[in-house]
Amino acid sequence: MLDLVWLIPALPLAGALVLIVFGARIGEPRAGWLATFATASSFAVTVVVYFELLGRSADERSHVVSLFEWIPVGSLQIDLAFLGDP
C-alpha cells in the first residue's frame, strides 16, 4: 500500500478536474458528493499509509515513491517523488 502514496494528492486533483470540466452537467448534489468522495478517499489512503509506516521500526519509517526522472543533468538527477514519513 505504500506504493500508492501518490494517490494522496492525485485523488482530490482528479476530482477537481472532473468538477471543472463536468461540474455544471453533473448537477449540484452529485458534484458535492464527488468532491466529498475524492477528499475522503485521499484521507483513507493517508490513514492506511500512516498506520503501515507506524508498524515499521524507527529506522524504516520513511518510504520514497519515485514517479519519474524530472531533470537529469550529468551526475545530478532530480526525480518527481513522494515521501511517506509519519
Global confidence as pTM: 0.81
Q: What is the mean pLDDT of residues 2-21?
A: 94
| Rounded-to-integer distance, Cα 51 and Cα 75, Å | 36
pLDDT value of residue 1: 78
pLDDT value of residue 25: 92
Total domain count, the chain: 1
Residue 59, pLDDT above cutoff 90: no
| Rounded-to-integer distance, Cα 48 and Cα 66, Å | 19
Residue 84, pLDDT above cutoff 90: no
All three cell numbers of 61, joined, read 519509517
All three cell numbers of 60, joined, read 524504516
pLDDT digits (tens, 9 = 90+) for 61-81: 888 999 999 999 999 999 999
All three cell numbers of 46, joined, read 493517508
Containing domain of residue 59, as a range? 2-84
Distances in Å between the alpha carbon of 19 and those of 40, 41, 43, 44?
16, 16, 19, 21
